[in-house]
Amino acid sequence: MDRLLALESVLNTIADPDDPALSRFIRAQPAAGLAGQLTEIVRAWRTEASGTAGSGLALALATSRALPRPASPQVVVSGPASASLPGRLTSGVAVEVVRSAKTSLLVASFAAHGALDVVDEIGRAVVRGVQVDLLLEESTHASVAFAMLPKEVRVWHRASASGVMHAKLLAADRHTALLGSANLTDRALSDNIELGVVLRDLATVAPLVDHFRWLLSPESGLVRAGGAA
């Protein structure tokens, strides 16, 4: 950040990319590779926007710096945790993701058994008006784990016997998604050695949710309604 502010300061004092002050600033950069990157930026300025004053580029940098940054991915684990990878436990994060849903919740799992904390939280989501869709593998009888949920919950299965529904996903609205190896079972959420990641970046999560919504749509022809949970 300090280097970016320093670059903005220099740009505010120069009129064009050939100003010696900019060359001196670039040569003084100690970070490996930074001088080369800045040289490429200057080259692009010279060839593509030579009529733009340095103050214009400084304003563009300041604007970009002020934009909100997407949250970093968060690692989650099941089983033993270590100091090398201090991730949060999958069971707690799964409940947290469900709790964050305001309008829709998309759940995909190959197998499901127990996981009462997650199932109970899904039930509370339904009560507060969240539309819940469960995309489950039929051959594992995963839907049984959700049998006590309200009838408003929609269950989906693959329409074809070719292949299985093997994805594991919890997606709250279009803003948060938990992806990983863990099924919605007690062992997978707590005891097995499993690994996952939570995404909280709209630009990444929204297309992922759109893909699964397309899978559930009649036009895909890939899934069929399995009835209420």
Domain spans of the chain?
A: 2-66, 74-228
State the pLDDT at residue 37. 87
State the pLDDT at residue 93. 94
State the pLDDT at residue 207. 95
State the pLDDT at residue 94. 96
CA torsion through residues 162, 139, 77, 200, sign: positive
> Quick check: 135 pLDDT over 90?
yes
State the pLDDT at residue 128. 96
> Quick check: 186 pLDDT over 90?
yes
State the pLDDT at residue 83. 73
Q: Please identify, in words, the CATH class of the domain defined by 74-228.
A: alpha beta
State the pLDDT at residue 160. 81
State the pLDDT at residue 228. 55
| Of 140, 99, 115, residue with least CA distance to 191 | 115
Mean pLDDT of the chain: 90
State the pLDDT at residue 148. 94
How far apart, in Å, do the first and last CA atoms of the chain sit? 50
CA angle 139, 172, 185 (to 5 degrees): 35
Contact 122, 107 (CB under 8 A): yes
The reported pTM is 0.70
State the pLDDT at residue 105. 98
pLDDT band for position 87 (cuts 50, 70, 90) = low
Written as six digits, the tokens of 44 are: 């692009």
Which residues, including other chains, have CB under 8 Å from residue 131's CB and lie 6 or more apart? 103, 104, 105, 152, 154
Cβ neighbours around 75 below 10 Å, total: 15
State the pLDDT at residue 102. 97
Q: How far apart are the C-alpha atoms of 79 and 23, rounded to whole Å?
A: 54
pLDDT, tens digit, 9 for 90 and up, residues 54-81: 898 888 888 887 777 777 888 898 988 7
